[in-house]
Amino acid sequence: MSTPPWAQQPQQPGQPQQSFQPQAPEPPKKKSKAKTSAGVGCLGVVGIVVLAAVISAAGGGKSGSSTANSPAAAHADTGNSAKAAAPHSAAKKKTPQTVTYVVTGTGGADVQYGPAGSSVQGKVPMSVTKPLGNPQYYSITVQLQGGGHVTCQLKINDKVISQSTASGSYNIASCEISKDMYSDKWTDTNAG
């Protein structure tokens, strides 16, 4: 908007005279709903395309069918992909592995058990479960005192790997397992 002639500053000497040109007031600007809707629609399409790219990347770039590549199908598949991925990620979680020392029998006996480099005292009967650590060797030694019979077992994740039995006076039941460094499996060290 231009300034009315009565509100203009007086002209300085030596400056060219400015002519007054009345101007019509500018009409107020109206927001175009078409532009706003088009902008939102464009952002929606871009969002769907980005979402489809993320889903494609998460699936290793594999596409199911030609309709799965359309933006509408990508948007519709979003919920199903998340649900399908949940059981897969849960399967990746490993349950902690355990070692279980078991001794059963009758009569008095001295019991020693534990991983390599340790010796814990126990009593007949016993069943002790511990988290499987990094030792490559676990053992149980049960020596009868005067008579009776005993059985020892070493289990990894409830699977018996080693078992031994002893009867009579001062006999020993011994269970030992070690981890094979090539196959990464637990084996009975007493077998063989």
The 10s digit of each residue's pLDDT in 125-178 is 999 999 998 899 999 999 999 889 999 999 999 999 999 999 998 999 999 999
Query: Domain residues of the chain, as ranges?
Result: 35-92, 98-188
Question: Is the Cβ–Cβ distance between 149 and 166 less than 8 Å?
Answer: yes
Task: Please state whether beta strands 159-167 and 172-179 pair in parallel, antiparallel, or not at all (unpaired).
Answer: unpaired
Mean pLDDT of 30-43: 52
**Tell me, what's the pLDDT at 95?**
79
The 10s digit of each residue's pLDDT in 40-78 is 555 555 556 555 555 655 555 444 444 444 444 444 444
Cis ω on the peptide bond leading into residue 125 (within 30° of 0)? yes
* CA atoms within 13 Å, Cβ hemisphere of 12: 2
Closest CA to 153 of 98, 97, 101, 99: 101
Q: Which amino acid is at 177?
A: I
**DSSP 3-state of 47:** helix
The secondary structure of 66-97 as a DSSP string is GGGGSHHHHHHHHHHHHHHHHHHHHHHSPPPP
Given the structure tokens 């902690």, which residue do they identify?
Answer: 96
More confident: 7 or 122: 122
**Tell me, what's the pLDDT at 178?**
96
Closest CA to 175 of 186, 185, 161, 156: 161
Considering the entire predicted model, what is its pTM?
Answer: 0.52
CATH class for the region spanning 98-188 = mainly beta
For residue 58, give the DSSP letter: H
